Homo-oligomer: A and B are copies of this chain.
Amino acid sequence: MNKKQVTTEHHHFPWDHPRFRSWIAVARACQLMQQTLTRELAHLDIKPPHLDILINLYRFDGITQQELARKLLVGRSNMSMLLPQLEKRGLIERRGDERDKRVLRLSLTPAGRTLTEEAMEIQTALIEKSLTGSPIEDCMTVAQSMERIIATLLKEDGDREHGPSSAER
């Protein structure tokens, strides 16, 4: 009687679906990771959104606000709110492009680069610590699944709006 007499696979409730349960776990893990990162980043006086920006400037010097927003999957207005803060703190610079006077090209200051390296170290350590329980091959499986999901969602998402997106980060 320990099979609960459930012989059908009707899945009356969402939480009986294996994919649903999987995704809930993903969402909760993400939420927790974000909260933990927020705490561990606190003494640098930055938050995950700022770090996302800094890392992208670290990789892609001279990027524009538009491109940055697209990589981070956020709206342009978001960048217009956050970037002036980082600029006032002397972490980034915004220079207008001469050939296209609409765009602002972004780059890290030396102080910004130093801070970014410290913050990336913290983030990397946190991720390593959280994922040491999972073998590398499992991580690759996870990555593949997530890439597929991203591709699926981005397809119907990109159709409706901002043109061809990449979001490679």
Contact = CB atoms under 8 A, between A and B. Distances in A.
Interface string A134-164: 1010111111111111101110110000000
Interface residues of A, number: 56
A95 interface: no
B28 A146 contact: yes
Given A28-B169, A30-B27, A19 B146 contact: no
A7 interface: no
A26 B26 contact: yes
Interface in A25-57: 25-36, 55
Contacts of A131: 19, 22-23, 145, 149
